[in-house]
Structure 1
């Protein structure tokens, strides 16, 4: 499939699938000197004043920390490019659909976020500018040694050998722990060192030891009351990022690699992994059911802080959200079923194919993809680095924050991500097909059906959707 311009007719078909694709803000890489804007052309006392340029950038809104960080980055960029004005626009609802509406109307933003679930669809439909010439002309981006995980960078940023975006950062799921709960139970918490990751059986043993009913009994004790659990050992969310990590650790796949993109939930490895996650709730009683959080009036991080949960498997970006809860938290790598594995992804910074000023826009995109911005986001706990310059001892010291990152967290950010992190291909039709599979998964999560019974028919239906989208493009 070749990239081409998005027609108004095709837009009507494609925009309906955009919506749930924007889940989180991600990371970015450098420009002139690492993390600093290049000197503006014409600098000097005798240089003529440069023509003013307004660059329209589109994003979904983030936390106050993210907003503060992007404004600081825009100010820094403006020091080198005083004739550039950045019009930073955020769209809180239906972000992807509204971006496509602007593009179809002939008024595209110059640059925007492309979520993992939108990026390849936008490439194939001709929405995005091929930035390969810019990337290849950049001393940093064009060098494989610039990136900490180059092969995965290529998988998420390129299509048919051409670059259409720059990855903002990495994020990954890992364990969060309430260290006071572990200490009270006399159990060592999980390690941040991927070589010390628990096997699934070891993880389950710990989760059982940390699960208590109202009488202080554990799940394997006689008389354990599964209907009155005061403290659950773990929560493993079942949306696509933590689920992909579990599936991958069992040797399965969520979707086939590009350009296929078909759903793989009918493979024995994937079905087994799904069942093992479901059994945490329905068989072993170490994880809460879906309505638990609404019943107790807390989200999973709050439940962790209160001691209602001992561990959760969730995204690295939650380091930003966990800090205000002010409890003794730790982190650890995920347990594995057959092989160490975690999901890595993040949004790409992209340029619209119909943008009127690509050269100026590239200067801003390159800056956002530099160390200055990425380092700031890493310091707050939102992002994980993708640049080797931030993986050296000096580089790590520039973003590792004792007020945010637990001791040894750099092993998650660097060793775990770069040795065991894998992206997932989310091609055209992903969200529609994922909805079909998710409906079948829901019956497994609540214990109404086994994965081997619920998933094969749903996969066949989902993959027909993928095939239909492939034929449209």
Structure 2
């Protein structure tokens, strides 16, 4: 359906119908139809669990003939995949579910994921934000749940007390990496109240850290991109994380902990609560995380905001999504697809307004009426700066697809080559150069090209 048709549908019917067939909240089958039961598996925080369960409850109320059972499975370690593996092996696979990229591509090639080409037809990729359409060979797995970019969250009260300006919301005003480090030092305080620029500062007695950044690839890869680095070469046959550009960015990441003393080390992190709770207790000033954490920060009752990431050379972020799949074991593919459409519809599902998800179609980032279904909706969880730090940032400053959406065998490459050596960097066991040289050598036999 065209962009004009979407606007017309919204104006006349109070709902949005997209090319992928976003569902209305009215029953999709007649009231006297045979009842169908479906299972939808997902992971997430307590807030995400509540939001998903409310969305499913809304569906079940309006679709009595297609009842969906939400099944929350914690994503700690390999728990989620192990649970689904067991369900598939016992022929009790869920009908619809979240699925990590690594597993999704593998299972799609093994026939465990339903090919949605008959339902979605020729998918117009240009309609979608990068990294939200999933294809493994000839199998169209479908779309992601939504989109999300990596951001900096911050406690405005901590910034005000330190006299530090807030992280910019506009990408063209992004802090340089050095400005970021300098400000993080001013925000880092030891137990005697001295900041990290003071010669008498005690790095072994830090009371407030300037920043927390995640150690998974979403935490460091945006800075590699910002510095002109790449994950792999053009044809996907070699890892390139040992390039000067990538190494410089990764060394800067390590230095935040061991040179600048503005970020907790992995041992400290393992004993600390999540970034939002640390910010609430004023134990951290800034926390880098995904856009989906808006729903958590909005419920803290603190004076918070969001800004764009600091830059090395160019202001860049990475767009993330999670595959939303229908499992090939489903006995009700048509009905499963109806719910599949519904759960990613901003006009129907409160998960978008609550700040958990951003839409995956570009029209929702450009058309005024569609912006009002999520980021500018009445009662939305987004702070005012979100139009710059999320909407513009997503559209205009995320030029690359993330590596997990491009490379074959990415699961093994990550788990056996990249992640162990990133941990060496984070634990100060190796320089970024040495760790990435090892990662590149280890990954070489695993490189199989791009999808």
| TM-score (norm. length: structure 2) | 0.83
In terms of mean alpha carbon deviation, does 345-354 or 56-65 score higher?
56-65
Distance 2:68 2:259 in 1: 54
Counterpart contact for 1:166–1:349, Cα < 8 Å: yes
Q: By how many angstroms is 1:174 displaced?
A: 0.7
Decide which of 426, 443, 446 is 2:424's aligned counterpart.
443
Partners of 2:22 and 2:119 lie apart in 1 by: 16
Equivalent residue, structure 2, for 1:207: 184
CA contact (8 A) 1:36 1:371 kept: no
Indicate the residue corresponding to 1:396 in structure 2: 371
> Structure 1 residue 106: deviation in Å?
3.9
Gaps of 5+ in 2: 1-16
Out of 261, 269, 274, which is 1:285 matched to? 261
After superposing on structure 2, the runs of 4+ consecutive aligned residues of structure 1 that deviate more than 6 Å are none
* TM-align CA RMSD: 3.2
Cα 1:276–1:73 change in 2 (3 A) is same
| Paired residue secondary structure (1:59) | strand
Q: How does 1:384-423 map to 2 (within 5 A)?
A: 384-391=358-365, 392-400=367-375, 404-421=381-398, 422-423=400-401
Shift in CA distance, 373/425, structure 1 to aligned 2, threshold 3 Å: farther
Match of 1:60 among 42, 45, 50: 42
Q: Distance in 1 between matches of 2:50 and 2:176?
A: 40
Could you tell me which residue of structure 1 aligns to residue 108 of structure 2?
123
User: CA separation in 2, counterparts of 1:406 and 1:239?
Assistant: 26
Structure 1 position 133, deviation (Å) = 2.1
Matching residue of 1:460: 441
What SS does structure 1 have at the residue aligned with 2:373? helix
Which residue does the alignment assign to 1:383?
357
Within the candidate set 132, 137, 148, 1:153 is matched to: 132
1:89 alignment partner, SS class: strand
Deviation, 1:206, is 1.5
- Deviation string for 1:381-415 (max 9, x for gaps)? 21122234533323323323667322221222211
Structure 1 residues 287 and 90, CA, compared in 2 at 3 Å: closer, same or farther? closer
Q: Return the match for 1:433 from 410, 413, 416.
A: 413
> Structure 1 residue 338: deviation in Å?
1.6
Matched, 1:271 2:229: no
Which among 222, 225, 238 is matched to residue 215 of structure 2?
Answer: 238
Q: Distance in 2 between matches of 1:215 and 1:162?
A: 59
Are 1:133 and 2:112 counterparts?
Answer: no
- CA distance, structure 1, for counterparts of residue 18 and residue 47 of structure 2: 21
Aligned: 1:109 with 2:94: yes
Cα distance change, pair 267–381 in 1 and its aligned pair in 2 (3 A): same
Q: What's the counterpart of residue 3 of structure 2?
A: none
TM-score (norm 1): 0.79
Query: Deviation string for 1:168-217 (max 9, x for gaps)?
Result: 11122211111112112222201222222111122122222223344544
Mean Cα deviation higher: 404-413 or 157-166: 157-166
Alignment: residue pair count: 425
Structure 1 counterpart SS, 2:352: helix
- What's the counterpart of residue 19 of structure 1? none
| Counterpart secondary structure, 2:294 | helix
2-structure distance, mates of 1:88, 1:243: 33
Deviations, residues 32-80 of structure 1 (Å, cap 9, x unaligned):
975515763558xxxxx323322x3241344454344434433444466
Secondary structure of residue in 1 paired with 2:265? coil
* Larger RCO, structures 1/2 (Cα 8 Å, 6+ apart): 1
Distance 2:106 2:238 in 1: 14
- Partners of 1:87 and 1:349 lie apart in 2 by 16
* Aligned-partner Cα distance in 1 for 2:54–2:283: 38
- Per the alignment, residue 13 of structure 2 pairs with none
Which ranges in structure 1 are unaligned for 5 or more consecutive residues? 1-28, 44-48
Written as runs of structure 1 = structure 2, the 5 A alignment for 1:250-329 is 250-255=227-232, 260=236, 263-293=239-269, 297-329=272-304
Q: Secondary structure at the match of 1:177?
A: strand
1:13 alignment counterpart:
none
> Residue 78 and residue 249 in structure 1: after superposition, are their counterparts in 2 closer, same or farther (change >3 A)?
same
Question: Aligned partners of 1:70, 1:57: CA distance in 2, in Å?
Answer: 13
SS at match of 2:132: helix
**Among 312, 335, 352, the residue aligned to 1:360:** 335
Alignment counterpart, residue 346 of structure 2, candidates 357, 366, 371: 371
- Offset at residue 379 of structure 1 (A): 1.8
